[in-house]
Amino acid sequence: MKKILIIIPAFNEEENIGTLLGGMKDMGIEESMDVLVVDDGSRDRTAQIVEESGFKVIRLLFNMGYGAALQTAYKYAVTKHYDYLLQMDADGQHNLTNIKIVCERLGCFEKEQESFPDIVIGSRFLEGSQTFLISGMKKLAISCFRKIIKRVTGQSLTDPTSGLQGMNRRAFSFYSLFNNFDLKYPDLNMIVQMLLLGFKIEEVPAVMTERTAGESMHSGLLKVGKYMVLMLLSTWNAYLRYKTGSKV
């Protein structure tokens, strides 16, 4: 039985998902890991393309949000008794070479687990990483989020909005529980929550490229502005829950 599950939340990604899954087949990913796509109520052929590619897909009846798709996968991973989970985007921005790097830092291939982190984040901003051009507004948001993490938790992370993450069973089991995971925008707020609760988080350099088709859920000045406001409010809520003892 494979102990590593790759999860890919997807919404209207018919132009990208086939290429991503084809690359996984070419690399022989299926030999050592399972792959699960959670189709978040797509209105296009996303789910059909996944099925035709021979990969597992869970179809949500309607669009529930990025976080809900992720938590669906966390619950699946708990039920199927996986030890590790790696999440990546369906748009092809996360190069497949990142899989080995994240898994190695997470300790997926080691017998002794005591010295490994609970969560590994693929960062665009560490030495050795490669990324695409980021808008000034997004850079401002990331800079702001870094300062919040440092101020609230005392720890430093460079890429708190990265969707490329790996986690052990302790972490994704916690995320799978009711009220422990933001079902809309799980980014900075979840990182702050997990650090405050004592989960160990580390970063590794990542290779990311710009999507070639479709539209990002954070594209446009208005969306980025709205996202920043929601992140600040939800992070403040996570902090208050921690301070008041409402951790679950």
DSSP class per residue in 114-152: TTS-SEEEEESSSTT-B-----HHHHHHHHHHHHHHHHH
Entry pTM = 0.90
Query: In one letter, which amino acid is 157?
Result: L
Please give the average per-residue pLDDT across 142-163, as a whole number.
94
Per-residue confidence (pLDDT) for residue 221, from 0 to 100 = 67
The confidence band for 70, taking pLDDT boundaries of 50, 70 and 90, is: very high
The Cα 165–Cα 209 span in angstroms is: 16
Would you tell me how many other CB atoms lie within 10 Å of the CB of residue 12? Answer: 19
Name, in order, each residue with C-beta under 8 angstroms of 90's C-beta and a sequence gap of 6 or more.
8, 9, 10, 11, 13, 16, 17, 20, 37, 46
Share of the chain above pLDDT 70, in %: 93
| Structure confidence by residue, pLDDT tens digits, 82-138 | 999 999 999 999 999 999 999 999 999 887 766 899 999 999 999 999 887 787 888
Spatial CA neighbour of 235 closest among 168, 171, 148, 150: 148
| Structure confidence by residue, pLDDT tens digits, 108-121 | 988 776 689 999 99
Per-residue confidence (pLDDT) for residue 75, from 0 to 100 = 98
Helix (H) or strand (E) holding 238: helix 221-244
Per-residue confidence (pLDDT) for residue 248, from 0 to 100 = 47
Cβ(106)–Cβ(168) below 8 Å: yes
Query: Above 80 in pLDDT, residue 220?
Result: no
In whole numbers, what is the pLDDT of the chain averaged over residues? 91
User: What residue ranges in the chain does DSSP mark as E strands?
Assistant: 4-10, 34-39, 56-59, 84-87, 119-123, 165-168, 201-205
The Cα 203–Cα 150 span in angstroms is: 15
Residue that is written with structure tokens 């708990």 in the block: 78
User: For the chain, what is the largest distance between any 2 Cα atoms, rounded to a whole number of angstroms?
Assistant: 50
Per-residue confidence (pLDDT) for residue 211, from 0 to 100 = 65
Per-residue confidence (pLDDT) for residue 214, from 0 to 100 = 53
Per-residue confidence (pLDDT) for residue 10, from 0 to 100 = 97
Query: In one letter, which amino acid is 101?
Result: I
| Structure confidence by residue, pLDDT tens digits, 12-54 | 999 999 999 999 999 999 999 999 999 999 999 999 999 999 9
